[in-house]
Structure 1
Amino acid sequence: MVGRCTEFLPKLFYVDTNIAASLWQMAPQGLSFTKDSQIALKVVKYDARGNFLGWEDVRGGTLQLCPDTQILLDAAFKFGSSYVQSCKIRISDLLSRFPEPILYELFLMFNDSQGLQKVWPIPIRNLNLDRNDIREFRRFFLVDGLTGRRSSLSNPPSSVTFAKDIVLRSYLPTRNPTSQPPFLLTVQYAQVRNLHAEAQVTFTTHYEMNYFAHKRDTDIALGVLGSLAVFVAMLETSSWRRRSGLEFIDVVTIVKYFAYFAGALSNTFFVVTFGTGVYWLIVYKGQQSTVEVTLPPAGGKVETDFIIYVACAFGLKVFNIFHF
């Protein structure tokens, strides 16, 4: 009897068989966005009793708790533009805006190959749960002051739960989704007991892509040019020995070799970093029709390697110059 009743309850997360895995497989194919085009999102809203409240276009402050102008809030959904909105807001203001929790289901609107308008459910990931639990949820909320009420619903809540960090992630290229969905919403909640306190809330739009091919190509370039630097240093050292009239390899010759090698290796790092910078400039800025490439994230592996290569280039070049 209980099993039959649960058939009619709303599903909160994707657990049946391979529904979660099929989300990636059933992601819309051929999905593309032009630069600064608006991401068409819709939400289905439910109240705390499960009543359907209707559909709503995601615009401005629909999912953002920070107050701001409509233009600035809408910038979060311009495709290809990284966006961060953070502010402090009073808990009492959140309760005034959400006297009861509203549950949302998030959908992406798109046109298929035949021009028919369809929706695709964007999975929700709750970061407060066990990190080993990879189940994706269907619904989320922004503010909950209902579960913290004791004894009576008319009493003020003893605690308030709110979404302190919301990140809308997009994985490029969206045209051919792989093991990652084209879009994913991650939510992290916090709980406060002081209704007069201020809460720090953040909404972020983040774009990611697989940089493995770029890393591989960079390593190959460094390996090939680094090998050439060894032979260039040997040729320069041999030329210096002939000019100096030396017949045998001594300590000075070895020091000279390492100095020449440092100079050749610094040129290798300069060439690779310059080529990398030009590549990202041309590929990223040259996108006209659709957005397929995003810049590496700040503080990520690609940026860290780039900084290390530049530092090595300058350090080796300084050693080479001061030696001579």
Structure 2
Amino acid sequence: MTVSAYMCGRHLNSTSCNLLANLCALTLHDREHPSCSTLKRIADRNNDQTVRRVPSLFLPSGQSSSTAESEAITSSHSLPGRGVEFSNRLNITIARYSIEGHLIAVETAKGNVFHICNISDMIADAAWSFGTRYKKICKVPALALWSMKTEFYDLYYNFPMDQSFPNKDTLYSIFNLVLNSKEQMEEDPKNWVLTTRFFLVDSSASVSGSDKRAKVVRYLEHLEIVITLLDTRKNPLKPGRIHPPITKLRYKEVSLEEAKNNKKVEMTFSVSYRMNMINVEKDVEIAAGVMSALAVLLGAVDAWSWSKRSGKVGIDARTLIKLVVSAAGYLSHIFLAIIFFSSLYWFIFFKQQNFVHTVLPAEDQEAFIKHYLISAFALKLLDIVVLILGQVTVDIFLLDWERPPPRVEKLEKCEELEPPVSVWRTYLVANEWNEIQTTRKSKISLQVLIFLVLMKVVGLENLASADAHNRLWTEEDEYMAEHSYVCRFALGVSIWAGISVFQTLFWVGVYAPIIENKLAQFTDICSLANISVFVMSHSHFGYYIHGKSAHGSADTDMEGLLNQLQREADDLCGHRGLQAGSDQQTFSMILPATLRTYYDKVVTPVFKSEAGRETGRLTSTTLQNSVQAYTTMNRFLTRFLQHALKDLDFEVRERNFIESTLDIEFTNTVTEKAVFYTDKGHSFDCLLLYGHEFTLTIWEILVMSFVDLLAQDFLLAAIITYFVSKFVSVLRYMIGRSNLARKTLIDKRFLI
């Protein structure tokens, strides 16, 4: 080293100077090492801003940040296949040196120049296509490192000097960031020590004495070329411009003993692209903040409506909990919408742009998208739990309008007996209600099947690759970039939501009006069975399905039933509606405290005390209490609906625009008069999964996206989403079935 230092310092011998530079690089640029300190003194004495006579390994202190943000590279870039005006390759020039300091070659970066294993040049050359996020991991036997030559590399970015001299190029040094020390791993570039010259394998430094083989070999475990795009918000007239690239290096050692034990080593070579995300994150935060205020406002409206429907006079703890839960549901929608449209923007704009204005966020820059997704998933989970709990705790009463047939005479004792009214009609309606509890407008099995066919069979998932290509499949010797999660998220949500919208439109536009409308069928069955459904979802709010037969009786034979249907078809009987001359059968209703108090007095104590109903072993007292409670409540409600109660009545009205839009009522629940609001025949669907298709679809989208975030696998995400959706349906069905049996005082064994 002494001779090399003399020849370099005294005669500026390039070979000697390069030898000193190589020795310094072998120390991982230790400033205290004699080779580094000597070369730095010589470089400071002989180099200036225009001429570099001696290799300059260290960027001057304090210039790391300014270099990383420099706009010295004046050439613009386009994506491959999007025009020839700008370069679509990374024009990196490599200078290779032997360990003795001789210049071996100066060449343009291409192929597998930095791979230690055998990779096809066509695949490896994708690393130098601008905009392609490239990553390859080579795994080779450690013993193979001992047969590799130790060579050193300097990287330069090649670009035209200016428009006046298009044929003259400028070489800009690409600096290295060695990550073997903790100080170098800091995110703030002000504290970085940037250097030049690096090596792939060092198989000679640990050779000593008569040993011909090194005891330890150092190899480059991680090599990443980081390309940072100029912020086009600040520089709208500089599309495709980049800051000087930075090469991140990390070295590792392997001993000869480990190599002889067949140990394998890995080397990762990658090219990543970044952009300034500070403004983007601020925009997302501002959007989330503004929209969150809207979510809280909507949650407050829901909480106010819930408080009125529950008969609350003031704000209590339960009202505040309702506010939090409602706001959580709206926030999950807002977070999902914000990150979806942000990701969709990046996905479409990056794939379709000609001149590079933006690149996909790097893996670490995607973190805020993932955080919002996790938050949306957690908030929606809370929303779904509360939704299910609300549906399976409603109070429901099946009101029988049937009247006993004329009295019959008992022959033995000449007594007149009143024949009982058949209960099978009530059981029929209860079973139909039980069946439609989990009916939805979309089928999760069909949803998953179409999603997987599009993603896996058609190959749409390959559109999520972090490159400029829009291809579904690749050739054998063609590189497919790793998937960007931003692209996966945008693509997955778009496809899933698209399929769900298609299913819903098909159900609403084709299946329900032409093939089968289960909710309308349920209303028809209620009319045929002469059974009304009285549901109280809140203390002072509920839904009513008027099932009173237009013929006055439903206990009849086949001929009688067919005659009744024919009379309705010929308009020879009254209408099915609650009001005379009306066909309106479904209502939402505001109930006065008097009615609720009477229900709690008559029915609630019965189903709360029936411990033997699940096993079917009811005591005679319990059985008698159940029958009496049902008969009393049935008589009370029939008289109420016939305006036969002196102190309790109702009126029918339509909601105004604000009430319909916000789903609230301005009627005072303290009043003694109930209000029945007309609807379009399906307001009671909010008691079923059918009325929450949007919420359930958002839930499934979040489950799918969350699983894909963890596993990066659409197949696994779709399968888990299927089972989660089925679990929610089964749980809703089982608990809802038990609640139906308890609240209607029907033996659970009759609910099929």
Q: What's the TM-score once normalised by structure 2's chain length?
A: 0.39
- Alpha-carbon RMSD across the aligned residues, in angstroms, is 3.2
Q: Contact (CA 8 Å) 2:127, 2:133: kept in 1 or not?
A: yes
Please give the alpha-carbon distance, in whole angstroms, between the structure 2 residues aligned to 1:268 and 1:227. Answer: 10
Give the aligned partner of residue 255 of structure 2. Answer: 193
CA drift at 1:244:
5.7
Give the aligned partner of residue 173 of structure 2. Answer: 121
Q: Determine if the alignment matches structure 1 residue 110 to structure 2 residue 176.
A: no
Identity of aligned pairs, percent?
23
Give, as a single letter, the amino acid of the residue that structure 2 aligns with 1:50: G
Segment of structure 1 superposing worse, 203-212 or 237-246: 237-246
Q: Determine if the alignment matches structure 1 residue 13 to structure 2 residue 64.
A: no
Q: Write the mapping of 1:141-290 to structure 2, written as runs, cut at 5 A.
A: 141-151=199-209, 155-173=212-230, 181-194=243-256, 195-196=259-260, 197-242=263-308, 246-250=312-316, 252-290=318-356
Give, as a single letter, the amino acid of the residue that structure 1 aligns with 2:330: A
Segment of structure 1 superposing worse, 75-84 or 262-271: 262-271
Q: Contact (CA 8 Å) 1:13, 1:135: kept in 2 or not?
A: no
Please give the alpha-carbon distance, in whole angstroms, between the structure 1 residues aligned to 2:180 and 2:308. Answer: 70
**Cα deviation 1:202-247 (Å, max 9, x = unaligned):** 1111222222212211221221112122222233333445556654
CA drift at 1:92:
3.9
Q: Contact (CA 8 Å) 2:277, 2:365: kept in 1 or not?
A: no
Which consecutive unaligned segments of at least 5 residues does structure 1 have? none
Distance 1:11 1:321, change over 3 A: same
Distance 1:190 1:251, change over 3 A: closer
Q: Contact (CA 8 Å) 1:32, 1:174: kept in 2 or not?
A: no
Give, as a single letter, the amino acid of the residue that structure 1 aligns with 2:252: A
CA drift at 1:318:
0.9
Q: Determine if the alignment matches structure 1 residue 134 to structure 2 residue 192.
A: yes
Distance 1:261 1:188, change over 3 A: closer
Q: Contact (CA 8 Å) 1:149, 1:158: kept in 2 or not?
A: yes
Q: Contact (CA 8 Å) 2:222, 2:268: kept in 1 or not?
A: yes
CA drift at 1:83:
1.6
Please give the alpha-carbon distance, in whole angstroms, between the structure 2 residues aligned to 1:301 and 1:320. Answer: 29
Please give the alpha-carbon distance, in whole angstroms, between the structure 2 residues aligned to 1:235 and 1:26. Answer: 52
Please give the alpha-carbon distance, in whole angstroms, between the structure 2 residues aligned to 1:201 and 1:64. Answer: 8
Q: Contact (CA 8 Å) 2:224, 2:272: kept in 1 or not?
A: yes
Q: Report the 3-state secondary structure (helix = DSSP H, G, I; strand = E; otherwise coil) of the residue aligned with 1:138.
A: coil
Q: Report the 3-state secondary structure (helix = DSSP H, G, I; strand = E; otherwise coil) of the residue aligned with 1:13.
A: coil
Please give the alpha-carbon distance, in whole angstroms, between the structure 1 residues aligned to 2:142 and 2:323. Answer: 67
**Cα deviation 1:112-163 (Å, max 9, x = unaligned):** 44134222110012222462572211111111112121125x7222221211
Segment of structure 1 superposing worse, 43-52 or 16-25: 16-25
Distance 1:148 1:225, change over 3 A: same
CA drift at 1:184:
0.8
Q: Report the 3-state secondary structure (helix = DSSP H, G, I; strand = E; otherwise coil) of the residue aligned with 2:289.
A: helix
Q: Contact (CA 8 Å) 2:58, 2:196: kept in 1 or not?
A: yes
Q: Contact (CA 8 Å) 1:259, 1:323: kept in 2 or not?
A: no
Q: Which has the higher strand share?
A: 1
> Which of these residues, 62, 75, 78, is aligned with residue 34 of structure 1?
78
Q: Which has the higher helix share?
A: 2
Segment of structure 1 superposing worse, 260-269 or 138-147: 260-269
Give the aligned partner of residue 421 of structure 2. Answer: none
Q: Determine if the alignment matches structure 1 residue 82 to structure 2 residue 133.
A: yes
Q: Contact (CA 8 Å) 2:94, 2:109: kept in 1 or not?
A: yes
CA drift at 1:104:
0.9
**Cα deviation 1:167-226 (Å, max 9, x = unaligned):** 11111238869xx94311111111222154432211111222222212211221221112
Distance 1:246 1:142, change over 3 A: closer
Q: Contact (CA 8 Å) 2:112, 2:120: kept in 1 or not?
A: no
Segment of structure 1 superposing worse, 232-241 or 200-209: 232-241
Give the aligned partner of residue 117 of structure 2. Answer: 66
Please give the alpha-carbon distance, in whole angstroms, between the structure 2 residues aligned to 1:17 and 1:261. Answer: 51
CA drift at 1:298:
5.9
Distance 1:43 1:254, change over 3 A: closer
Q: Report the 3-state secondary structure (helix = DSSP H, G, I; strand = E; otherwise coil) of the residue aligned with 1:45.
A: strand
Q: Contact (CA 8 Å) 1:12, 1:139: kept in 2 or not?
A: no
Distance 1:12 1:92, change over 3 A: farther
Q: Report the 3-state secondary structure (helix = DSSP H, G, I; strand = E; otherwise coil) of the residue aligned with 1:131.
A: helix
Give the aligned partner of residue 310 of structure 1. Answer: 376
Q: What's the TM-score once normalised by structure 1's chain length?
A: 0.84
Which one scores higher on RCO, CA 8 angstroms, separation ≥ 6? 1
Distance 1:89 1:320, change over 3 A: same
Please give the alpha-carbon distance, in whole angstroms, between the structure 2 residues aligned to 1:301 and 1:162. Answer: 31
Distance 1:291 1:139, change over 3 A: same
Q: Contact (CA 8 Å) 1:148, 1:159: kept in 2 or not?
A: yes
**Cα deviation 1:247-298 (Å, max 9, x = unaligned):** 4445554444344333333332333233333333333333222252223416
Give, as a single letter, the amino acid of the residue that structure 2 aligns with 1:137: T
Distance 1:210 1:16, change over 3 A: closer
Distance 1:10 1:220, change over 3 A: same
